[in-house]
Structure 1
Amino acid sequence: MRWVGFLGLVALSECLVTIPLTKIKSMRESLREKDLLKDYLQQNPYSHAYKFFRKQQGVTIEPMRNYLDLYYVGTISIGTPPQEFKVIFDTGSADLWVPSIYCSSPACFTHQTFNPGKSSTFQGTRRPIQLQYASGSMTGVLGYDSVRIGDLVNKVQAFGLSQTESSKSLEYGAFDGILGLSYPTLALQGTTPVFDNMWKQGLISEKLFAFYLSTNTEKGSVVMFGGVDHSYYKGELKWVPVTRQGYWQITVDSISMNGKVVACHGSCQAIVDTGTSLLIGPNYPVFNILKTINAQATSTGEYIVSCNAISALPDIIFTINGVAYPVPASAYIRKDWPDICYSNFDNSSGSGSLWVLGDVFLRLYFTVFDRANDRIGLAPAVA
C-alpha cells in the first residue's frame, strides 16, 4: 500500500533546488462546518498558499503555493509549453500522476487537467495503470513528457494521466496529483521515478533530497533536491540507516513518556512519510498512548484531549538509532477553533505493525533522504 495523507528537469551540474511551501487555514474546520468531516475521514484515515520568496545564495528557489494543514503542496509543470499542477511531494509512494482531460470523475472537474494535445513533447502509450493509496485510488494511462520542478527540467518522464479518481479525499483535496519520492521498487514496473531520472540525467550533484516543513506560514516550507541548505536546521544531522528499500523505512528503538516505554517495546519499524499528516501506529500501542493522555473518542473517529493538557503533558520521546527525538504536547495535540483540542496520534489496521512518522514529526525535524547511502538524516528544524 502506498501511504499518503488527507491525506524534473534543464541540467544544472552543481545545483541545489529548493521548492518552498506554505500552509493556510485548517481544512478540518471547513469540512466540520459543512458536516463533511466524518465522511472525509472515513475515506481518508491518514489525513490530516500564499507564495513566499526566500533568497538563498547558491540555492535555486521556486515559489510554491500550499494549502491547508493536512498536507504540503508544491507546484510542478508538465509538457511544452508547460501546464501547471499542484502536487503532494510524497515519500510514501513512487509514481507521478495528474488529472487528465480524459477523466470523468468529479475530482477532475475541480482540478487542473493535463491536455496531451497541447504539448509538443508528449509521448503517449496505451498502457493502463492503477494506483491505490490509503486515501483513494486512480486509474488511467501511462504517458511521457518533460516535467519541470523549479529550474530543473526532467525529459521523457513517465507519469500517469488519470481517467478515474475515487474518494472525496481527491475531490475535495487542494492538490491535483501526487509526486512520489520513495524507492523505485514501489514504482510502476518498467518506469523510472522523477528523482531517479534527475540523477540519471545529471541534473543534481548529490543523490539526495530534503524537507523542511514549517509551522510558521510566513517562513514557508521547502523540498530541496541535490543538496542541503544548513540554515533550515540546528546542530548536526544524525543519520539513520534505511532497513528496507521500498518506503523510507527505519528502526525506532522505543517510544516513551517520563522515562517509561509506552509503545515500541524492543524496537519497531517505521516509515518516514511526508504524505501522511499524523503519527500513525498499530492499534494497541496507539490506544495505550491515547489512554495515557486521556484522549476521548468522537463520532468522527478523532480523539479529543483537554486543551489544558498541552501545557501539562510531557514530551513523547521517539528514540531512533540511539538518539532521542522529543515530540512535545504542543505537536501531538492540535488546537482547533473554537478551543477544542485533538490528538495527532491515530491507529490503523492498514499500517500493520508499522509506525508512520508523518508531518507532525517532520515539522519538528529537518529531514534528509539520502539515496546514495540509503539513510535518513534528522536534525531539529529551525523555528
Structure 2
Amino acid sequence: MVPSNRDQRWPNYEKRKAGLLVLLFTHAAYAIGATGAEASGFIAIPLVKTYNLKEPDFDPPNSLFVNGGALYGESQPDTSKLLHALNLDIEWDDYGYLATIQIGTPPRDFKLLVDSGSADLWVPGEGCQAGDGSGDCGNHTLLGPTFSSSFRHSGEFWMVKYGSGPVAGHIVSDHVTVAGLTLKSHRFALALRESKHYTLNRTLYDGIMGLARTVGWNHNLPSLVESLHGAGLIKRPIVSYRIPRAADGRSDGELAFGGMNPAKYKAASVVTLKNIGPIRFWEARMDSIVINGITLRIGRRSAILDSGTTFILGPRKDVALLHTAIPGSRFSDGLWYIPCHTEVVLSLSFGGRAFPIQPRDLRATPLNKDDPNAECKSRIGEMRGRGGSQWIVGDVFLKNVYFSTNLEKNEISLAELA
C-alpha cells in the first residue's frame, strides 16, 4: 500500500488499500525465540485477505483532528540455513492479506495487513478513538500498559496519512515476535486516533506491517526486516511472498523472512531485477504487456510491486490501450468492464520473462451474476496523480508469481509458482 500524498481517483469499490502500514523499528536490545526453527526449516503463521469498503467508510484527509483530544500519557541461533515464515491466509475475496504476530507480555495476537508498499508497523492503542470523535476503535486487539507489562511509551508523536485517512499516535516499545523470532523492546507505532475505516468492526485487521524500504520514509527508523537482520535473527534481509487465491481453496500462502522458500517456486524461472525506486518502493522495469500474444506499444514503463494493493493501476492511456485489446471490453462512467467469461491471456514481462495472469484474476464484481453473458468490473484501472510511465502492480498479478525482495542487494526477484 502506498501512503496517500496524491490523488489516486480509483473507483469507490476499488479503493487502494483498506489501510496502510506504519513500521517504526530501531536497533534496541534483542532476545531470540526460534522454537522449532532448526527442525522445520521455516515457521509459518496465517496471512489473511481483507476487503475494500464503500465510500462512506472513508474519512476526509484531516478529519482525524476535527475534535482534537490529547493522546494518553505516559544468545542467538545459527540462522544460516533457516527460513522463518508466516502463513498467508485469505478472507473475503482476495482484497487484502493478513499475518498474525505477537506483541507484549504476555504475548497477544495482532492481525496485520501485509504491505510491501510502505515501511511502517502500527497497532491500535489502549484508549484509541475514532478521529471524528464518534467512538472507540472497534473490536480490535489493543496494546497498552494494561495489557502488557513490557510496554513502554516514548511520548514521541507519530502520524501517517493513507488513502483511507490518517492515523496518529505515539512511538512505543514492546516485545514483538514474528514467525518465532522475538525482538525485545522493539520500537514501533501505536495508533491512538484512527480514521473511520480502521475503527469499523468489519475491518478485519488490527494494524499494518510495512515491508518497503525506509529510504525517504518519514520517521527514519529501520523496518521490521532490517531489525530482524540487524539482530542476527535472519541471515539475509530478504522477504518473500506466496500470495494465495481464495478460489483455489488451499492454505498455501506464505510470508517468508530470510530467503526464498524453494518449495514455492520453480528455480529455473527466477528473474532478478534491480530495484529502481529511489525511495521506499520496490520498483522494477517492466519490459512489456502482452495480450493474447500481441505486445502492446506502451514504451518504457516501470512497476511498483505492492502486496497491499488489490488491483493493478496504470496510466490512463495504457489502461485504455490494454482494455481495447480485450475482446468485449467497454468503458463507462470512469470504469472498464470486461466479459465475465473472458479467457484472455494477459502477461507482464520482467527481465525478459513473461508472467501470465490467470483470466479469473482480471475480473471483479459481475453486473448481473444470473446472466451467463454478464460483464464484470475489470481489476485493472487507471491511476491519476503519477507520471505517465509508472504502474502500481498489486495482487491481481502477484497471486500469479513468487515475489521476493532483498534489502541488502536492493533487488527484486520474480518466479513462476511451483
Query: Unaligned stretches of 5+ in structure 2?
Result: 5-15, 20-24, 26-30, 62-80
**2:350 maps to 1:320:** yes
Counterpart of 1:271, as a letter, is: I
Residue aligning to 1:80: 105
Counterpart amino acid of residue 145 in structure 1: D
In structure 2, do the counterparts of structure 1 residues 169 and 208 end up closer, same or farther at CA, with 3 Å as the change threshold? Answer: same
The Cα of 1:285 is off from its aligned counterpart by 1.3
1:116 aligned partner: 145
Residue matched to 2:3: 2
Q: Tell me how far 1:230 sits from its aligned partner.
A: 1.0
Deviations 1:213-261 (A, max 9, x none): 1222323311000122111112422111111252111111222324444
Distance 1:16 1:184, change over 3 A: farther
| Structure 2 letter corresponding to 1:184 | T
In structure 2, the CA distance between the partners of 1:295 and 1:157, relative to structure 1 (3 Å rule), is farther
**Rounded Cα–Cα distance in structure 2 between residues aligned with 1:256 and 1:119:** 53
Residue 222 of structure 1 is matched in structure 2 by 254
Following superposition, the deviation at residue 192 of structure 1 comes to: 1.9
Which residue number in structure 1 is paired with residue 283 of structure 2?
A: 249
Residue 152 of structure 1 corresponds to 181
CA distance 1:62–1:179, shift in 2 (3 Å): closer
2:384 is equivalent to residue 349 of structure 1:
yes
**Residues 302 and 220 of structure 1: CA distance in aligned 2, closer, same or farther (over 3 Å):** farther
Structure 1 Cα separation of the partners of residues 403 and 209 of structure 2 = 18
What is the aligned length?
A: 356
* Aligned pairs (5 A) from 1:129-140: 129-140=158-169
Once residues 58 and 126 of structure 1 are traced to their aligned partners in structure 2, the CA distance between those partners, rounded to angstroms, is 37
What letter matches 1:347 in structure 2?
E
Deviation at residue 43 of structure 1 after TM alignment: 8.6
Distance 1:60 1:193 in 2: 17
> Is contact 1:20–1:220 with CA below 8 Å preserved after alignment?
no
Please give the alpha-carbon distance, in whole angstroms, between the structure 2 residues aligned to 1:43 and 1:272: 27
> 2:116·2:307 contact (CA, 8 Å) conserved in 1?
yes
Q: Structure 2: how far apart are the matches of 1:281 and 1:123?
A: 43
Aligned mate of 2:209, from 168, 172, 179: 179
Structure 1, residues 320-340: CA drift from partner, whole Å, max 9, x if none?
122212224222224658255
CA contact (8 A) 1:212 1:367 kept: yes
Q: 1:155 to 1:186 in 2, by over 3 A?
A: farther
Q: Equivalent pairs: percent with the same residue?
A: 26
Q: Determine the C-alpha separation between the residues in 2 that align with 1:364 and 1:42.
A: 33
**2:363 partner letter:** I
Amino acid across the alignment from 2:47: L
- Relative to structure 1, the CA distance from residue 84 to residue 367 in structure 2 (aligned partners, 3 Å threshold; closer, same or farther) is same
Please tell me the root mean square deviation across aligned C-alpha atoms, in Å. 3.0
Give, in whole Å, the separation in 1 of the partners of 2:266 and 2:193.
44
Could you say which structure has the larger radius of gyration? 2
**TM-score normalized by the length of structure 2:** 0.76
| 8 Å CA contact 2:97, 2:113 repeated in 1 | yes
> What is the match of residue 238 of structure 1?
271
TM-score by length of 1: 0.82
Q: Give the counterpart of 1:213 among 243, 246, 262.
A: 243
More deviation, 244-253/284-293: 284-293
Say which of 355, 363, 367 aligns to 1:333: 363
Deviation digits for residues 186-209 of structure 1, max 9, x if unmatched? 444242221111011110122211
CA separation in 2, counterparts of 1:21 and 1:11? 21
Deviation per CA, 1:37-64: give whole Å up to 9, x if none: 45459999xxxxxxxxxxxx96556566
Say which is worse superposed, 334-343 or 63-72, in terms of deviation.
Answer: 334-343
SS at match of 2:227: helix
Aligned match of 1:277: 310
